[in-house]
Structure formats: C-alpha cells, structure tokens
C-alpha cells in the first residue's frame, strides 16, 4: 500500500504556475508523502533557457533544457508550459512511456484533446487536467466523478476572470469597456493584448473541455459558437441593471431534448443574468461554474480562476491523485469514447433574447414590430417601451423585447426583418438571457 521509493515528478515549465507547483512540492514533502503513500520527488524542471530571472527559492540544479531525458526518467509529468508545441509532443512522449500526465493547458486540450486522451488510453496512463478549467475551482473532478451517476442538463460558466472583472467594473463604476480593460491590465488581470480574453477565445476553449466532460462527447473548439464582450457598451450594462440583470460572459453547454438522447449546444457569449441567480453575485476576477443535473439539481462551484498559487493548488491535487494511483495500481475514470450527442450548429441553439431597438416615438410602432417578430415564429415574453421625452414630436423611443426561448436562426431572421422597418432607427443591442 505504501513504499519508500520516491515517485519522480518532472515539471515542464517554470513560469508563474510552474514556480508555485515546484515550491508546493519542495515545501510540503511530508504532507504530500502522507497523502500519496510514498515520497514525491521533484526530479527536474524543464525550461527553455537556464538564465531567465526566477524565484530564488527554485534550486538551480533542478533546471534543465533537456525535456526528453527528464520525461524519460519520470513517473509523473506535469505540463504547465502552455501553448501547443512543444507541450503536445512532450505530453505524447510521456504518455507513450507510461508516465502519468497532469496538465493545465486548456488551449492544447481544446484543440488536441482527442489525440491526447487516445494516447493516454492506449498506454493505460492517467491524464488529468483540473487546472485547465477555472483554475483552483474543483470542477473537472466533480463533473467527471461526483456526477458520474447523474445526467448533466446544462452548464453556465463564468470561466474567464478578465472579462468578469471588466464587466463588473462597468457595472459597479459605470466605466466603458476600454476604461475597464485598461484597469484590468493595470491590476494584472489582462494581457497587453487582451484579445484572447475579451473576444471569448479563452472561454471557448474551456467551454469545449467542460462540454466534452459533461456530455461524454468530443466537442472541438470549432464546435463552440463564440462571441466576446467587445460589443457590450456602458449603456447595455446600465440598462441591464435597471431591469434587474447583470451582463456576464458565459460559457454555455446544454442538452436540448431528452437528457440522454438529445443534441448539445456549446457557446460563449455575453448574457443577461437575473440579479437573483447565484452567478450574478460572482464579482471581480472570480470564476464560477453553475451546473444543472437531473438528479443533483442546481450546483455551483466558485473560486479563483487564475493565478499562480490557485492554479498550482489544482495541479498538485491532480499530482497526488495520479501518484496515488500509480502506487496502488488502478486507473481513474477514463475519458469516454462515447459520442453520445450530436453537436448543434450555432444557428440551431435555443435561448431567450432581449432585443433593444431605437424606434420612432409614435403610436403603432410597437404593434408593427411585434407582428414582424411573431411572423418569424418568435414568441414575445415582455415588451418595454421607453419614450425619450424629447421636445420635438419626431423623437425616438427605446423598445426592449424579451422573447421566449427561440432558435437563434429564427431570432436573427426576425431582427433582420425588424431592422428593415421604416420606423426602426437602429438595433441597439441583441443579448441572450440565461439563468432566468
């Protein structure tokens, strides 16, 4: 059951996360050994260059530029380099040699997950990735193991801390998008080039991983419909507030139709979330994943989605799990090879929408717009008309239409038709409504 032969861990990468993983292993040898049942030894750290500036607590003699030798001598390989290559090749090498692999690499998993999971399966090796989605928050293990006897119906995730920080700043301080992004950069929450966050690419990678996991279906990054927050205005955020909503960038993965025989929709987009929904309370750069399962009902997992120490915590949890299994034999739950659910194209997704229009402020326009919307098979839930109260009688009113659940294709056609009406001056915004 336990032994004294140390389990050798090879660490690939020594950036923000890698440094904390290394320090976590070096600082807690007794705790880790107690959890695993054998000593854990940090065999070495692969770095691209030896002379970069590093935390002085990282022993220099552990650094190596020879990844292959390091991997070939390891029981557990931890990949925290990020990027596609050489991470992919090194992970495949580790798996082929039968080493267990722990990775935090969401981009690689979203793009090349099937290849990696097949390699792990062929080698009978573990491949864990708790840190790849929502940082410190245990979400991969709960979905994969705790809900293994249940059916997930829907996941709504705030999985990108940068955009949540930005939207929260817009909501609480009335900033516009550019100002809020600048603040996020000053706080270190956003990169100099914030595109991957702001345009939803990062969230889309996590959506693909979560959907694959929850629905036992291989969902590729290209299956994920993606819309970032760059079109969200201060006015949208303020309008949302006055109607009892907050705007959040959500990763959505859901089954349409029977929970065991439907189709799945996977998408990332800004959405209106009611104030009363647990996700609405997620502030700043925090992440949260809301899961609706048939048996369990609603669940939410909340915490820090990024940062060196939080991410390292998730990585170390996986290291203990795989080391433990390596020592005692046995395998974790395998990635499913089912292709249970067909993935719907974006236009087939079904959501509620809120469409805001600037219209001529005169009688009859509301009825005209409502008729066109209904003609496209979209059912209206509520309509709210706000007059601009301008002095001149040819003023503009704002019309906010909230629909019942509608297919995206129908809604798009309805909006196009509405935009063509003479008294409609402008489509101000089209936002989905989730969690209502």
**Among residues 18 and 228, whose Cβ is nearest to its own copies?**
18
First-to-final CA distance of the chain: 50
Name residues contacting its own copies, limited to 18-57 (CB under 8 A): 20, 24, 28, 31-32, 34-35, 37
Give the footprint of its own copies on residues 211-250 (CB under 8 A). Answer: 216
Neighbour tally for 308: CB within 10 Å: 18
Nearest to 201 by CA among 255, 249, 265: 249
How near is the Cβ of 78 to its own copies at its closest, in Å? 11
Q: Give the x/- contact pattern for its own copies in 245-274, rule: CB under 8 A.
A: ---------------x--------------
Instruction: Mark out the alpha helices in 81-233 (DSSP H runs).
Output: 87-96, 106-123, 140-141, 161-173, 177-186, 195-198, 201-215
Q: How far is the CB of 17 from its own copies (least distance, A)?
A: 11
Please, what is the minimum distance in Å from the beta carbon of residue 91 to its own copies? 20
206 is catalytic: yes
The contact pattern for its own copies, residues 340-379, with x = CB under 8 A and - = no contact, is ----------------------------------------
Site for its own copies in 148-177 (CB under 8 A): 148-151
Q: By rule CB under 8 A, what string of x and - marks binding of each residue 79-118 to its own copies?
A: ----------------------------------------
155 burial level (CB within 10 Å; 0-12, 13-18, 19+): buried
Q: Please, what is the minimum distance in Å from the beta carbon of residue 169 to its own copies? A: 17
How many of the chain's residues bind its own copies (CB under 8 A)? 62
CA-CA distance, 334 to 117, in Å (whole number)? 8
Q: Is 339 in the site for its own copies (CB under 8 A)?
A: no
Rounded to the nearest 10°, the torsion over CA 351, 139, 343, 201 is 80
- The percent of the chain in helix, strand and coil, each rounded to the nearest 5, is 40, 25, 35
Cα Rg of the chain, angstroms? 24
Q: Give the one residue of 73, 85, 145, 178 binding its own copies; rule: CB under 8 A.
A: 145
Q: Does 319 bind its own copies (CB under 8 A)?
A: yes
Dig out the tokens for 327 from the structure: 């020592």
Cβ neighbors of 89 (< 8 A, separation 6 or more) are none
The residue among 113, 248, 278 whose CA lies nearest residue 171 is 248
In whole angstroms, the minimum distance from the beta carbon of 27 to its own copies comes to 9
* Per annotation, catalytic residue among 106, 169, 182, 206: 206
Q: 47-66 in b/e burial notation, b at 16+ Cβ within 10 A?
A: beeeeeebeeebeeebbbee
CB of residue 151 to its own copies, shortest distance in Å: 8
CA atoms of 220 and 212, how far apart (whole Å): 8
Q: Which residues bind its own copies (CB under 8 A)?
A: 1, 20, 24, 28, 31-32, 34-35, 37, 124, 130, 136-138, 141-142, 145-151, 216, 260, 278, 281, 293-304, 307, 309-310, 312-317, 319-321, 324-325, 328-334, 336, 338
Q: Which residues are catalytic?
A: 206
């Amino acid at each position: 059951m336990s032994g004294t032969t140390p389990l050798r861990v090879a660490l690939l990468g020594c950036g923000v996360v890698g440094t904390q993983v290394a320090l976590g292993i070096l600082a807690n040898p007794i705790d880790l050994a107690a959890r695993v049942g054998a000593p854990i030894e940090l065999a070495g750290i692969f770095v691209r260059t030896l002379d970069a500036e590093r935390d002085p607590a990282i022993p220099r003699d552990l650094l190596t530029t020879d990844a292959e030798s390091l991997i070939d001598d390891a029981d557990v390989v931890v990949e925290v380099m990020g990027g596609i290559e050489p991470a992919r090749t090194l992970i495949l090498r580790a798996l082929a040699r039968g080493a267990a692999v722990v990775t935090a690499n969401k981009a690689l998993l979203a793009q090349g997950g099937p290849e990696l999971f097949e390699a792990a399966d062929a080698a009978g090796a573990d491949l864990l990735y708790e840190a790849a989605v929502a940082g410190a928050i245990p979400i991969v293990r709960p979905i994969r193991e705790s809900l293994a006897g249940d059916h997930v119906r829907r996941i709504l995730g705030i999985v990108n801390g940068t955009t949540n920080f930005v939207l929260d700043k817009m909501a609480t301080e009335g900033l516009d998008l550019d100002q809020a992004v600048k603040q996020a950069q000053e706080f270190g929450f956003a990169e100099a080039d914030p595109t991957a966050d702001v345009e939803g690419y990062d969230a889309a990678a996590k959506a693909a991983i979560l959907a694959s996991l929850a629905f036992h279906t291989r969902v590729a990054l290209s299956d994920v419909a993606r819309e970032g927050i760059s079109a969200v205005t201060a006015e949208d955020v303020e309008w949302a507030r006055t109607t009892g909503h907050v705007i959040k960038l959500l990763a959505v993965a859901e089954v349409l139709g029977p929970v065991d025989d439907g189709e799945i929709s996977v998408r990332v987009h800004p959405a209106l979330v009611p104030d009363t929904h647990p996700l609405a309370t997620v502030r700043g750069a925090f992440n949260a994943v809301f899961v609706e399962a048939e048996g369990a009902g609603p669940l939410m997992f909340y915490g820090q989605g990024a940062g060196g120490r939080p991410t390292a915590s998730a990585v170390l949890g996986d290291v203990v799990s795989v080391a433990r299994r390596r020592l005692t034999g046995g395998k974790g739950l395998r990635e499913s090879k089912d292709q249970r659910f067909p993935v719907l194209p974006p236009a087939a997704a079904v959501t509620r929408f809120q469409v805001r229009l600037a219209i001529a402020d005169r009688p009859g326009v509301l009825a005209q717009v409502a008729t066109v919307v209904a003609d496209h098979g979209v059912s209206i839930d509520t309509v709210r008309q706000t007059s601009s109260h301008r002095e001149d009688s040819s003023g503009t009113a704002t019309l906010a239409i909230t629909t019942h659940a509608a297919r995206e294709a129908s809604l798009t056609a309805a909006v196009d038709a509405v935009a063509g009406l003479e008294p409609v001056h402008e489509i101000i915004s089209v936002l989905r409504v989730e969690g209502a």
